[in-house]
Amino acid sequence: MTFFSGMLPGETLEKFLDREVRPDTKFLSDCSQVIDTVVRLIHRNSKYKVNQVIKGGSLGKGTAVRDHSDIDLLVVLNNFRDVEHLAENMEEVLYNFREYLESAVGKTKNIEISMKGQTPFTLQFDLCCGNEWFDVDLLPIVDVWSTWLLGLAGGVRSTYSTMESKPHLRKYYAKSLAKLQVEFVKPMPARVKDLIRLLKYWKYTEQVDLTSYCIELMVIYVWREDGKQNNFTMKQMMTKVVGLLASFDDVRISFNDHFTPSYYIKQLKKQPPFVMDPANPYHDVASDPKWSFSTWCRDFHRIESEGRQLQRKLQELPEESSCVIS
């Protein structure tokens, strides 16, 4: 039985990861140079005071799968006093960044860009790396995480309080909180990221309607619950994650890194399944795919069906094939 689509008979997970799943190292190196060039251009935009550019997405977090790479550029601006001020000017900010980048890239050698469009929160374009293109989302944000007065004021807890009182701004706050998402995933050990890659590869090949971020959080949750061990085998840890997928309707995942989950579970009257974003208590990652009411049950049960199928395959996978990834 072939465990993953594209996996060769008798192939170990380690060899499969190298051959089919992990991005090519040269591609990653080339992408890094191209992205750094764009980041420098963003800093040179004289219209705005750019505090920093945070790299997110699969490339920024280190969880990219071959042929499925993307990056988020979180552009922290000092021009706006708060999220509400930025929201009022977001359309103009996105337009100005689009005009600026098209002009700046045109004057820069060895870089190609193709604008795609924008959402109310992001500028979307493709960036060329060698002979391949990858998705880029540029998100103007403000600092909603820093503290002042010796740490007694500000910070994310203050941000969450504002989000509670101003629900109409939560989607704008969510973009600014994306920095905490990056900081949550990026430091994970290489083995954890390889397991994330394997399950993201499965998601892509089987067309399972889960976001990459949801898979990242489910893997990290299981790894933490298992004592943050570094000597696990792929089969051992994957079995536990796939068990959650196979019974997805009962999933209850939360993290207490930045807030007390029980408070928001009660306030929002949350029912399973839910996967709470560790950066944003108002973001349920499990519900990210925008299913309509008429398609919810069908697509929801398909996650469980595909999970059970993967579960059966795992039972037949020999232990020696699930080597410890180094």
Q: Where are the domains of the chain?
A: 13-185, 190-321
Q: In the beta sheet, which residues pair with residue 136?
A: 71, 125
* Cβ(247)–Cβ(145) below 8 Å: no
Q: How many CA atoms lie within 13 A of 298 on its CB side?
A: 5
Q: Is 251 exposed, middle or buried (0-12, 13-18, 19+ CB in 10 A)?
A: middle
The fold for domain 190-321 equals Poly(a)-polymerase, middle domain (1.10.1410)
Q: Side chain identity at 102, as an amino acid letter?
A: E
Question: Residue 209 to residues 118, 203, 272, 306: CA-CA distances in angstroms?
Answer: 23, 7, 17, 10
Phi-psi sector, 232: left (phi>0), alpha (psi -120 to 50), beta: beta
- Position 152 scores a pLDDT of 55
| Burial profile 193-213: b = 16 or more Cβ within 10 angstroms, e = fewer | bbbbbbbbbbbeeeebbbbbb
CATH class of 13-185: alpha beta
- Position 326 scores a pLDDT of 33
Q: Which residues of the chain have pLDDT under 70?
A: 1, 149-153, 289-299, 318-326
CB atoms within 10 A of CB 94: 20
- Position 291 scores a pLDDT of 47
* Cβ(125)–Cβ(113) below 8 Å: yes
CB atoms within 10 A of CB 237: 22
- Position 324 scores a pLDDT of 39
- Position 321 scores a pLDDT of 44
Q: In the beta sheet, which residues pair with residue 139?
A: 74
Helix ranges (DSSP H) in the chain: 13-16, 25-43, 57-61, 83-106, 155-165, 170-176, 178-185, 190-206, 212-225, 234-246, 261-267, 293-316
Are the folds of 13-185 and 190-321 the same? no
